[in-house]
Structures are given as structure tokens and as C-alpha cells.
Structure 1
Amino acid sequence: MANASTTENQYEKLIRLLEEQLAHSNKQNQELSKKLDKALKQNEALSEQLRQLTKLIYGSKTEKSKYNVPDGQGSLFEDDPSFNETEHTVEQSQQVISYTVVRKIQKKKRNDSLCDDVEVETIHHHPENIICDCCQHQMIEIGGTLVREEAKFIPAKMMKVQHFEHAYECKICKGDGSQPAQIKRGKAPQPAIQRSIASPSVLAKVIYDKFAQYLPLYRQVKEWDRYGLNTNDKNLSNWVIRASSDWLLPIYERMKQLMMDKSLLHVDETYAQIINRSDGKSGQTNAYNWVYRSVPSQGPTITLFQSSLSRARFVLESFIRDFSGTIICDGYSAYDKIDGVSFANCWAHCRRYWLKADSKNGRIGVSYCDELYRLEREFKHLSPSKRRKKRKKYSKPIVEKFLHWVENSPFYGKNALAKAAEYTLNRANGLKAFLNDGRIEIDNNPAENAIRPSVIGRKNWLHSVSEAGAKANAICLSIAETAKANG
């Protein structure tokens, strides 16, 4: 009996030991399973990133896609009416395809012409000899024909303008001697910049070439030398800075005052470089150009640039201190939590995120955005009040359906699809803002278009040496781009 009891105890210990080992193995299996799941998700995310980077390097850079919904195409959100049509018989098909081709011949237009207000010079060509070869009598004119027109260019020329001040004295008073002779002296007007050879016309040309033609100053030096003005890029830079601070700054400040009285603004920012920074940071550190643009429905368009060392929210807050209303912007975190200001987010940025997620769900997201843009093209020429009503009726159901689809779809991880879903849901209120105000554009493209000249110029003139130069650039760009926007 003792031996049986001992054997029983040993079996129980062995069973307990095996159960403990089994539980430990199960626990290890669960941990390994979790690690495997995590590794698979990481592998999926890395594969997605690799595919995205490969597409970024070798793929097309355009945001246009084959998933755009052109006018007249069946919508993703409605039943396709073509599926309800009956099948054609052979006779019907033959009737359908029998047609007559009518070709409309269009006269080819010239791709070059002169404006109507261009000065006209007329040159008349007469025969050298107007004596008749037969009877030797003088011939009379019977008509003339315009045989061709050509464009003639008269190059600009440099002139040296010398200002003389002439003095006049009264000889009678001088000869009388009872009182000092009166002297009057002509007064030349003050120069645009003290102790500078630059006239207003030269300053206008320098500023126009840099900020409208994007021609950097060091390349302008050679052009001025051909005209006959010997100078250097340092002088030209100083002329731009002085002209901006002395003459253009009051115009800039008045434009800003008018802009702050409005209730809608487009805002964007892009990086720049300033070599000599007041904050002690390296010249390689990014500075920023901010752009502010009003909307056409609130009067003549105003475009203002602001140069800053930072991209932080306080830069925006200090500039729009006197503004209250709605700012149309992208999803950057600085565009948030400012007293008296609401924010409308950009659907072009939202669409861009779904376009990067090049997958079935990504294409669905792009299709929702394209449907909204198709409607916006139809509403483009409506008044703000009519556009608001149309958006409420047609655009709002699409937005709600889109957001509901994103909320109820299992987009997890750190891949492009999950980032697109997160971006959309975090900015849902801002994306819906355009539905409540017909004056608000669906995207921030006006600001991005306004900031493009700064980006083009950045590729040419590369950087600003000083903060004063960067501020002068912002002032000149503001006036140039506002003039362009208003024709």
C-alpha cells in the first residue's frame, strides 16, 4: 500500500509539473504569437513605406489620377443607369452605329500677334520708276495693299540726368546798397535714395526684374553693365532694401490694414534661408515666408508676404492680431486655438493623403474627394448664397458619407492608409466648414498659388543675407503679386 501511495504521489507531481510546463509553453506561444503579429504589421508597414518611396522616386509626381470623376461620368455613389438598359439586338446595333461624319473645318489661328494699343509705324513702298515703259507717260497710283506686319523692338537706353540748381540775384538792390541783395536759388527734387545714383525708374526696373521676372541681382549686374551703368549686386541689394523701407512699406502697411478688416483669409507658409540671423542660429536653419491672401468675394484681392525666423503659432498670432473671422489653411498645427478665429481645412491636402495610399481603399477616398470637386466646378460661378444652398443639398451628403466610411473602416498601423484616415478624422470639423459659408473655397490652392513665386524666386536668388533683405523681399513680393492678382 505504501508503494502504491508513493507511486500515486509521484504521478501527481509529474502531472502538476507537466501542467506547469504546458502553461509555460502556452504563455510562451502567446508571447511569440504577439511578437509575430507585431512583426507582420511592421513588415507590412515597411513594405508600404518602401512602395511609397519607390513611387516617390520613380513614379509620376502629378496629383491627377485616373480616378477623377469628369463631368457626365457615372458616380461612385449612385446606381449606374447603363445597367438598366436592355441589350441591343443585331438590327438595333446596326441602327445605332450607322451615322454620318460631319467635319467642321476650323481656320488655323496665329499663335503670335501684337496688341491693339501698340504704336504703329507705316512704311510705304513705291516703284522706283513710275514712267510707263510703253508710252513714256507718268503713271498714277491705283491702290495699295498691306502685305505683311512685323514686330519691331526698340531696346531700352541709359541716360545720365544732371540736375543743376541756378541762383538769381537782384542787381538793382545790389547796386542800391541800402539793403542786402535778394538771391533766389532753384531747388532740385530730393533723390529717391540719398547719396545714390539710382533714379525711381532704375529702382522700379531692379524690383520688377527680381520679383516679377525672378532675375537675381548678381545676374542683373551684367545687364545693367550692358546698358552703361557700372554697379554691383551689393549696391542693388541696398537699393531694394532702402526703396522698400522708405517708399513701399507705407503701401504694405495700408494693404495689411485693409486685409485685417476682412473676414476670410487664405494662409500658407514655406521655408526660406537667411544667412545672418539675429537668433544666433546657423544660416542653414530654415527661416519661413508666410503668405496671406484675401478672397475675391470681399473686394480686390490682396496678397501679403511676411518673412520670419520661425514657423510657430506666435508669428501668425502677431500678424493677424486685428483680424477676426475664418482662415482657410492646411492641417499644420499652428492653425488652431486662436481667439476670434475659426479654421477651414483644405480638401486638396486631404485628397493628397488618400492619393498617397495607392490601394483600393485609397482610391475610394480619392473618389469621394473628386466627387466634391466635380460639384465645385458646377457651383464655381454661383453667388455665395446660392453656392451655400447647393453645397447643403449635394455636397453635404457626400461629406457625411465619406466621414462615416472612414470612421467605420479598420485602418490601423502607420501605413499611408492609416495616416490618411487619421488626417481626415482629426480635421473633420475644418473639412466641413466650407458647407456653411458659400464664400469659403473648398481648398487652400489660392494661397499655394500665391506662394509659388516665392518658391520660384528661392531657386534663383537662393537666400537672403540679412533679415532686412528678407523683409524687403516680402514687401516687394506683396506689391508685385497684388498687382498681378488685380490685372
Structure 2
Amino acid sequence: MSQEQDIQTLIRICNQQEKQIESQEKSIRLLEEQLAYMKRMMFGKKSERFVDPNQLSLGLGIEETTPEAQPEPLPKETVQKKNKKRPVRQPIPKDLPRVIEIIDPENLLEGCKKIGEEVSETLEYTPGRLWVRKIVRPKYALPNEAGVVIADMPSLPIPKGNAGASLLAHIAVAKFADHIPFYRLQGILKRSKVTIAESTINSWVTATFKLISPLYDCMVKQTLESGYVQGDETPIPVLTDKKPGSTHQGYHWVYHSPERKAVFFDYNESRGRAAPENILKDFKGTLQTDGYVGYLDMKTNHKIELIACMAHARRYFEKAFDNDPDRAKYALSKIQELYAIERECEKMNNQQRMLMRSERSVPILQEMKKWLWHQDNLHLLPKSYIGKAFTYARNFWEKLSKYTQNGKYRIDNNPVENTIRPVALGRKNYLFAGSHQGAKRAAVIYSFMGTCKLNNIDPYEWMTDVLNRLPDHKANKLHELLPGNWNPRA
């Protein structure tokens, strides 16, 4: 082999080693990013809100003192302890029922005159207990042997069943709002000296689902008629018959209308595009999502305008803060300014909010867009946290900025994400749904629990009243019973 060939071979080997070293360096940087992020998740702050350390100073122009210039500490005798604020006791609500207990002094002399009184109140609690509604309908014989009369049996949520509306409401709220599995609920009821089989509780939930399903369909229709909804999805493990003992990964697709203060869940076995297509096939308006590909290019009867979520863009940059602090800090500070404007215009109407956004938010977005597209791609590893942040922001920038075009739009998708939290809590308690039909029933009841929360309504009171009224309620007036329209019956 000639000397020239040896040189070429060495050059080729060097080039291969350089590429290998470069690849290893990229892998090391990615692993360092992941390690730093995991450490922060385990030991650091988890809030997504960015706080610039420079903003912690008051900005009074006082220079930071060096250790040598710091004043000597005062003697211990002259150091004054800061006055700790005493906790303020919250007043007991006036509408809670009171049981008055009067305690007179012992051995009270005759002729004493009452001149006043001292009143103290303590909160007490009576554990939930079962009671029996006994319906008695007397029979009367008509005169002249004209027959027998008896009052009609009032409608019950479950015809010929022995579970009343209040018990059905309690079971639904305990499972889908308080996340108590049925076997625990069974034990709680047993403390009231009543043993109810878990299969019976399941059948009652199924009957409740059938009764409120028409009301659910009404809420879905009204929510989508609002013209602006936020969408998200969350997984739910479901037992499957195809492979006994294993679970299938199903999904709750969630849609929230900020204007109507309504949310509904739709269970589907898949996370594919067909799920939102089926729900949104007749939807006209704007859909706000996190950018998941399942919402893109849907085949619907009307064109749907998509807008993105600024909180997701912020989340990407927040993850990159440990490894690329300069660029992450700039992006997070600009997003912080946008959220500060949103907090200022929370109580404005849609027209005022859109005007403020056009005057103050749009210039910030334009400045941020210019910065995003002027960054050097050579220093952005595609798989790094900062690389993913830039990719997300650039790909969805137009959709991220669209919230400024209409005052009813929100800057992010956080409200619909908040409605999904009960599902995550439920997964930790009852682990999985027993069947696909069970997951569909859960979706319906989750919808009403979430909508009651959005409207600051006690879900137990709402469901008890509605289950009593639904059997006799007119089908064309179902909207009156929706949580946003509900007036309790006297």
C-alpha cells in the first residue's frame, strides 16, 4: 500500500471518529438536559410561571453591597424579632343550620336579671347516614260502592327500584367527584348497617347513566353551538375482553366552552383523528388545542379554525431553562409580559380585551416572532429541550398569535386541562374502568361533575334535584336542567 493510500485511510478514520465524537457529544448534552430537568422536577419548583430573578429587587438604584461593605451585625440584645402575623380565622357561613345550646349558670339565685350573653360557635359534623323514605298511599272506598281510589305513585329515578335520587346522587359524586372506588363506598355504607353488593351499586350507576343521557346530549349540543371550544384528551386504562387480565388504553376527549361554562367528556377507544371528527363534524367555529396532530386536517362538514396554546409554548421553554438559560429566559420573559396583560383585562368585555391585546400584546408577539426566526439553527439540537421549544413555537406561531384577534379567545388551553384533573385523580384510586361501556358512563357523569364545578354548584344538590325531576320533565325543556341554567325546585 502506498503512502498516499495510507494518508487517505487515516483521514477517513479521523473523519469517522470526529463524527462519532460529535454524535456522542450531542448524546451527552441531551442526557445532561434530561438529568437537569429530572432533578428540578424532583427537588426544585414545579410551577410553570416564570419569575425573573432581577425582578426580585425593588429597582431603587441601590447597588448590591460586597461582603466587605456589609454592616456589622447588631448585638443580640438589639435584634428585634419580626412580628409574626396571626392567622385570621375564617367566619362560619351564616347559612349553615344552627343547633342552639343555652347553658345557664349553676345555682342561679332567684331574682337575677339577664343583661346580655356570650355566644361561641363551633363547627360540628354528622357523618353521612342512610334513611328510608316510606311512601304510604291510603286507599279509599268511594260511596255507593263506586270503586276504590288511591294516589298515583310518584315517579322514581329507577322504576320499581329501592334507590332514591339522593342515594344515586351520593354514589355518583363519591365516585366521579371525590374519586372513591365502589368497594370503599360499599364499606362506608356498611357502617350505616346496610350491606349493598358492589354489583348492585354498578347497576344503579348504569340506571343513572341511562336517565341523564338525554340531558348529556343536550349539553353537548349547546356547548358546540357556542362557536368557540377548547379541546384536549387524556388516557384511561380499560379492561378488555380480548386479553383477560390486561387493559386497553382508551381516551377521554374533553371539550370546554368558556362562554357557556360547560364541559363534556367523550370516551373513545382510540386517540386517532376519527374521535374528534365524529364529535365536531357539524361544528362551526374555533377550536383551541395543544397542537396534537389528531386535531389537524380533520374531515368535517365545516371548516374549523384552529388556535394553539401559549401555555404549551411556555412549558417547552421552561424545560430548556437549565441548559439554555439565555434564550429560554428571553422567551419566558416575553410570555410573562403577555400573561400580565391577560390578568389586567380579565374583567373586561370581549371588545375591550381585543383592543388592549392589539395595542399591547401584538407588539410583543411581533418582537418575539422576529427573535424566533433570527436564531442560529446550527446551535439548536432538534432533540434538545431548546430545539423542541423553537420547533413548537415556529410551527404553531400563527395559531399561537390568533388569540389576539377575538376578545372571547383565551391565551391558553389551561381551563380545559383543569377539567381533566379529576380523571387523573380517579386513575390513582380506581386504576381503570371495568369496560368500554363503563368508561362511556364515566364520561357522561364526569361531564356534569365538571360543569357543576365551573358554575360553582354543589353537584350533589344538582344531581339529587335533577334525578327527581327528569322522569316527568318535558323533553323540549331539558336545557332548563343543565347546571348553567338550573334553578332548584322548591
When normalised by structure 2's length, the TM-score is 0.78
Per the alignment, residue 40 of structure 2 pairs with 59
State the Cα distance separating 1:63 from its structure 2 match.
4.5
Residue 318 of structure 2: which of 345, 351, 355 is its match?
Answer: 355
| Matched position secondary structure for 2:95 | coil
Whether 2:272 is the aligned partner of 1:312: answer: yes
State the Cα distance separating 1:243 from its structure 2 match.
0.6
Per the alignment, residue 251 of structure 1 pairs with 215
| Matched position secondary structure for 1:59 | helix
1:241-320 alignment runs, 5 A limit: 241-246=206-211, 248-276=212-240, 283-295=246-258, 298=259, 300-320=260-280
- From the superposition, tell whether residues 29 and 225 of structure 1 become closer, same or farther in structure 2 (CA, over 3 Å): same
Whether 2:186 is the aligned partner of 1:221: answer: yes
- From the superposition, tell whether residues 73 and 140 of structure 1 become closer, same or farther in structure 2 (CA, over 3 Å): closer
Per the alignment, residue 334 of structure 1 pairs with 294
- From the superposition, tell whether residues 189 and 381 of structure 1 become closer, same or farther in structure 2 (CA, over 3 Å): closer
| Matched position secondary structure for 2:97 | coil
Per the alignment, residue 403 of structure 2 pairs with 434
Contact 1:266 1:447 survives alignment (8 Å): yes
Question: Aligned partners of 2:315, 2:11: CA distance in 1, in Å?
Answer: 39
State the Cα distance separating 1:479 from its structure 2 match.
0.8
Whether 2:24 is the aligned partner of 1:43: answer: yes
Contact 1:166 1:185 survives alignment (8 Å): yes
Per the alignment, residue 101 of structure 2 pairs with 123
Contact 1:212 1:480 survives alignment (8 Å): yes
| Matched position secondary structure for 2:41 | coil
State the Cα distance separating 1:35 from its structure 2 match.
3.2
Residue 421 of structure 1: which of 387, 390, 394 is its match?
Answer: 390
Give identity over the alignment, percent: 26
Question: Aligned partners of 2:245, 2:329: CA distance in 1, in Å?
Answer: 43
State the Cα distance separating 1:168 from its structure 2 match.
4.4
Contact 2:234 2:253 survives alignment (8 Å): yes
1:446-457 alignment runs, 5 A limit: 446-457=415-426
Contact 1:292 1:305 survives alignment (8 Å): yes
| Matched position secondary structure for 2:434 | strand
State the Cα distance separating 1:471 from its structure 2 match.
1.3
Q: Which moved more, 1:430-439 or 1:359-368?
A: 359-368
Question: Aligned partners of 2:431, 2:282: CA distance in 1, in Å?
Answer: 33
Question: Aligned partners of 1:34, 1:270: CA distance in 2, in Å?
Answer: 47
Q: Which moved more, 1:228-237 or 1:182-191?
A: 182-191
Question: Aligned partners of 2:190, 2:228: CA distance in 1, in Å?
Answer: 46
Whether 2:438 is the aligned partner of 1:482: answer: no
Per the alignment, residue 94 of structure 1 pairs with none
- From the superposition, tell whether residues 231 and 281 of structure 1 become closer, same or farther in structure 2 (CA, over 3 Å): closer
CA deviations 1:212-246 (Å, max 9, x no partner) are 22211110001111123211222212211211112
Residue 374 of structure 2: which of 401, 404, 408 is its match?
Answer: 408
The higher radius of gyration belongs to 1
Question: Aligned partners of 2:6, 2:345: CA distance in 1, in Å?
Answer: 66
Contact 2:37 2:319 survives alignment (8 Å): no
Gaps of 5+ in 2: 64-80, 457-490
CA deviations 1:149-177 (Å, max 9, x no partner) are 2223334432334445555445734xxxx
CA deviations 1:82-136 (Å, max 9, x no partner) are 88x99xxxxxxxxxxxxxxxx99998454344211122233323233333xxxxx
Q: Which moved more, 1:29-38 or 1:151-160?
A: 29-38
Question: Aligned partners of 2:448, 2:275: CA distance in 1, in Å?
Answer: 21
When normalised by structure 1's length, the TM-score is 0.79
- From the superposition, tell whether residues 32 and 364 of structure 1 become closer, same or farther in structure 2 (CA, over 3 Å): farther
| Matched position secondary structure for 1:465 | coil
1:143-222 alignment runs, 5 A limit: 143-163=115-135, 166-170=138-142, 172-173=144-145, 182-222=147-187
Question: Aligned partners of 1:153, 1:352: CA distance in 2, in Å?
Answer: 43
Question: Aligned partners of 1:185, 1:436: CA distance in 2, in Å?
Answer: 64
Gaps of 5+ in 1: 1-16, 75-80, 87-102, 132-137, 174-180
- From the superposition, tell whether residues 282 and 431 of structure 1 become closer, same or farther in structure 2 (CA, over 3 Å): farther
| Matched position secondary structure for 1:291 | strand
Question: Aligned partners of 1:370, 1:154: CA distance in 2, in Å?
Answer: 47
Contact 2:314 2:335 survives alignment (8 Å): yes
Whether 2:358 is the aligned partner of 1:375: answer: no
CA deviations 1:309-343 (Å, max 9, x no partner) are 11111100111222111111102111212341111
Contact 2:33 2:384 survives alignment (8 Å): no
How many residues end up aligned between the 2 structures?
Answer: 433
Question: Aligned partners of 2:207, 2:54: CA distance in 1, in Å?
Answer: 52
Question: Aligned partners of 1:442, 1:26: CA distance in 2, in Å?
Answer: 61
Per the alignment, residue 436 of structure 2 pairs with 467
State the Cα distance separating 1:185 from its structure 2 match.
4.3
Question: Aligned partners of 2:273, 2:194: CA distance in 1, in Å?
Answer: 45
Name the aligned partner's letter for residue 369 of structure 2: L
Contact 2:237 2:431 survives alignment (8 Å): yes
- From the superposition, tell whether residues 282 and 321 of structure 1 become closer, same or farther in structure 2 (CA, over 3 Å): farther
